[in-house]
C-alpha cells in the first residue's frame, strides 16, 4: 500500500475514485512516456522508434502475459473502441452479415459496441437482440443457450460494464459458443488490470482493452487480443501497409495480430502502456483485485447506511465499480457536490448504455471506482460528501 501510494504522485493531490474513467498513473508510466518524447526531440521520431524496437515488441509480450496469451495474438491500438471496431470490421468484411442474421449482446453492453451493430442491422436487415439478465442481474447464460441458433453471427458481451458493478460470466457464454460459427467479442475494457482474465478460458474470438483505466496507462492506448481462429479466418478491413504487404499479384495480410494495427502510432504512450502493464503484473493482478474488491465493498456497505442512498450494483460477483443515487438529489448534482468536496467520481448517463438505464428506469448514476492505491479514508471523504449532499 505504501509503495503504491509513493509510486503515484497524484495521490498527494487528489482523492481519485474515478479509475473506471481514467486512473492516476504510477510515475514510471509518465517517466516512460516523457523519456520517449525526449528521444523523439533529440534524434527524430522514426529513429527513436527504431532505437526502442525491442521495448515496443515487449509491450505486446506484456499485454499477452496479462491475458495468459501469446504476443503474436496482440494488436496495439489507441483505445478499446478501436480494438473492438477493428474486430467487428474484420468480421463484417469476411463474413457478410445478412438479413437472417442475429447479433446477440448483453443487456448492459457499452454504447460504442451496440451503435455499430445497429448500423449493420439497419443496412442489412439483421437484428440486434439483448440477452436477458438472470435473477442476479447479470447476463443469463441459460437464456443465452436457448437463444442460440445457426443465424447468430455475432455475440458481444461486456465483462464489467461501465455503469454497474456486476461481472458477466464471459467464460460461461464462451463455453456455450464452442463449436458454433458465431463470432464472440468480449469487452474487457473495465476488467483488465482489476480482475484476472485468461483469454483462452473465455472462449472469445476477440478481447478488447484500454490502457487508461484499471491498467493505469496513458490515455489514447489500448489493445486487442485475437484468437487463433480469428487470425486464421478473418481479414481486417481496411488494410494498410502495416497490416498487409502490397505485392505484384495483390496483397498479403500480415500473419500475426499486427494485421489489426495501422502503421502510425504514438510510441511514447504505447511504451507508457507497457510500463503500466508491467507495473500491474509486478503488483500481481490477484492482489490488486483483492484490494479493489475490498474498497468497493466497503464503499457499498457504508453507502447503504446513508438515508436515501441506493446502491445499484447487481450480480453475485462484483467489480470495483460502485454505482449510486440519492433520493431527491439529481445524479449530476450529487456527482458535482462530491467533486466539489475534493473527491473525483464520475456521472454515468444513458448515453453510455441506453438499454441498461432504460430497463432499470434510471436517468443517471454516480460512479465511484476505487483502485488499489486508494485508502479507506478517501472512501470516507466520498461518503461524507454523499451524506452532506442536498
Ligand X SMILES: Cc1ncc(COP(=O)(O)O)c(C=O)c1O
> Which window, 50-58, 126-134, 158-166, 295-303, contacts ligand X (CB under 6 A)?
158-166
Contact flag: residue 187 with ligand X (CB under 6 A): yes
User: Smallest distance from the beta carbon of 197 to ligand X, in angstroms?
Assistant: 13
User: Smallest distance from the beta carbon of 104 to ligand X, in angstroms?
Assistant: 17
User: Smallest distance from the beta carbon of 229 to ligand X, in angstroms?
Assistant: 23
Binding residues among 250-269 for ligand X as defined by CB under 6 A: none
> Which window, 118-126, 184-192, 291-299, 373-381, contacts ligand X (CB under 6 A)?
184-192
> Which window, 67-75, 134-142, 187-195, 341-349, contacts ligand X (CB under 6 A)?
187-195
Contact flag: residue 222 with ligand X (CB under 6 A): yes
Contact flag: residue 319 with ligand X (CB under 6 A): no
| Choice between 101 and 323, CB closer to ligand X | 323
Q: Taking the CA of residue 288 as centre, how many other CA atoms within 13 Å lie in the half-sphere pointing to its CB?
A: 25
User: Which one of residues 19, 73, 107, 158 is an interface residue with ligand X (CB under 6 A)?
Assistant: 158
| Choice between 110 and 260, CB closer to ligand X | 110
In the block, residue with C-alpha cell 436515501: 308
* Count of residues touching ligand X (by CB under 6 A): 13
User: Which one of residues 112, 333, 375, 376 is an interface residue with ligand X (CB under 6 A)?
Assistant: 112
Assess whether the previous peptide bond of 198 is cis (omega < 30° from 0).
no
Contact flag: residue 323 with ligand X (CB under 6 A): no
| Choice between 60 and 159, CB closer to ligand X | 159
| Choice between 80 and 385, CB closer to ligand X | 80
| Choice between 82 and 227, CB closer to ligand X | 82
CB 280 within 8 A of CB 215: yes
User: Which one of residues 17, 69, 189, 362 is an interface residue with ligand X (CB under 6 A)?
Assistant: 189
User: Smallest distance from the beta carbon of 222 to ligand X, in angstroms?
Assistant: 5
> Which window, 186-194, 246-254, 330-338, 371-379, contacts ligand X (CB under 6 A)?
186-194
User: Smallest distance from the beta carbon of 46 to ligand X, in angstroms?
Assistant: 27
| Choice between 161 and 236, CB closer to ligand X | 161
Rounded to whole angstroms, the Cα distance separating 226 from 224 reads: 6
Rounded to whole angstroms, the Cα distance separating 142 from 136 reads: 13
| Choice between 224 and 334, CB closer to ligand X | 224
| Choice between 276 and 385, CB closer to ligand X | 276
Contact flag: residue 231 with ligand X (CB under 6 A): no
- Report the b/e string of 80-106 with b at 16+ CB within 10 A: bbbbbbbbbbbbbeeeebeeebbbbbb
Contact flag: residue 162 with ligand X (CB under 6 A): yes
> Which window, 40-48, 58-66, 119-127, 156-164, contacts ligand X (CB under 6 A)?
156-164
Binding residues among 70-89 for ligand X as defined by CB under 6 A: 79-81
Contact flag: residue 190 with ligand X (CB under 6 A): yes
Question: Which residues make Cβ contacts (< 8 Å) with residue 230, sequence separation at least 6?
Answer: 87, 90, 183, 205, 206
| Choice between 19 and 243, CB closer to ligand X | 19
Rounded to whole angstroms, the Cα distance separating 270 from 211 reads: 9
User: Smallest distance from the beta carbon of 210 to ligand X, in angstroms?
Assistant: 3
CB 156 within 8 A of CB 105: yes
Rounded to whole angstroms, the Cα distance separating 338 from 344 reads: 7
- In the complex, which residues of this chain contact ligand X (CB under 6 A)? 79-81, 110, 112, 158, 161-162, 187, 189-190, 210, 222
Amino acid at each position: 500500500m505504501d509503495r503504491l501510494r509513493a509510486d503515484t504522485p497524484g495521490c498527494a493531490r487528489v482523492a481519485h475514485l474515478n479509475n473506471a474513467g481514467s486512473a492516476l498513473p504510477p510515475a514510471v508510466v509518465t517517466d516512460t512516456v516523457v523519456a520517449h518524447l525526449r528521444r523523439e526531440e533529440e534524434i527524430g521520431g522514426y529513429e527513436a522508434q527504431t532505437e526502442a524496437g525491442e521495448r515496443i515488441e515487449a509491450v505486446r509480450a506484456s499485454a499477452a502475459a496479462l491475458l495468459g496469451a501469446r504476443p503474436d495474438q496482440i494488436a496495439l491500438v489507441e483505445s478499446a473502441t478501436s480494438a473492438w471496431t477493428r474486430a467487428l470490421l474484420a468480421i463484417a468484411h469476411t463474413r457478410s452479415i445478412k438479413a437472417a442474421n442475429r447479433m446477440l449482446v448483453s443487456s448492459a453492453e457499452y454504447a460504442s459496441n451496440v451503435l455499430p451493430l445497429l448500423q449493420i442491422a439497419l443496412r442489412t436487415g439483421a437484428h440486434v437482440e439483448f440477452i436477458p439478465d438472470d435473477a442476479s442481474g447479470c447476463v443469463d447464460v441459460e437464456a443465452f443457450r436457448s437463444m442460440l441458433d445457426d443465424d447468430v453471427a455475432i455475440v458481444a458481451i461486456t465483462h464489467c460494464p461501465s455503469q454497474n458493478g456486476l461481472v458477466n460470466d464471459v467464460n460461461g457464454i464462451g463455453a456455450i459458443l464452442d463449436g458454433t460459427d458465431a463470432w464472440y467479442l468480449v469487452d474487457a475494457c473495465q476488467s483488465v488490470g482489476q480482475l484476472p482474465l485468461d483469454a483462452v478460458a473465455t472462449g472469445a474470438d476477440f478481447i478488447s482493452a484500454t490502457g487508461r483505466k484499471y491498467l493505469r496507462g496513458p490515455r489514447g492506448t489500448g489493445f486487442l487480443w485475437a484468437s487463433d481462429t480469428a487470425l486464421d479466418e478473418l481479414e481486417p478491413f481496411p488494410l494498410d501497409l502495416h497490416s498487409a504487404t502490397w505485392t505484384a499479384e495483390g496483397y498479403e495480410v500480415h500473419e500475426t495480430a499486427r494485421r489489426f494495427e495501422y502503421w502510425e502510432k504514438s510510441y511514447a504512450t504505447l511504451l507508457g502502456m507497457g510500463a503500466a502493464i508491467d507495473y500491474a503484473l509486478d503488483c500481481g493482478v490477484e492482489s490488486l483485485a483483492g484490494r479493489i474488491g475490498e474498497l468497493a465493498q466497503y464503499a457499498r456497505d457504508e453507502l447503504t447506511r446513508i438515508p436515501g442512498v441506493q446502491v445499484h450494483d447487481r450480480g453475485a460477483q462484483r467489480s470495483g465499480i460502485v454505482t449510486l443515487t440519492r433520493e431527491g438529489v439529481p445524479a449530476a448534482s450529487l456527482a458535482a457536490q462530491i467533486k466539489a468536496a475534493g473527491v473525483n467520481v464520475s456521472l454515468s448517463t444513458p448515453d453510455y448504455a441506453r438499454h441498461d438505464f432504460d430497463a432499470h428506469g434510471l436517468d443517471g448514476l454516480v460512479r465511484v471506482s476505487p483502485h488499489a492505491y486508494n485508502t479507506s479514508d478517501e472512501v470516507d471523504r466520498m461518503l461524507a460528501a454523499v451524506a452532506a449532499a442536498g
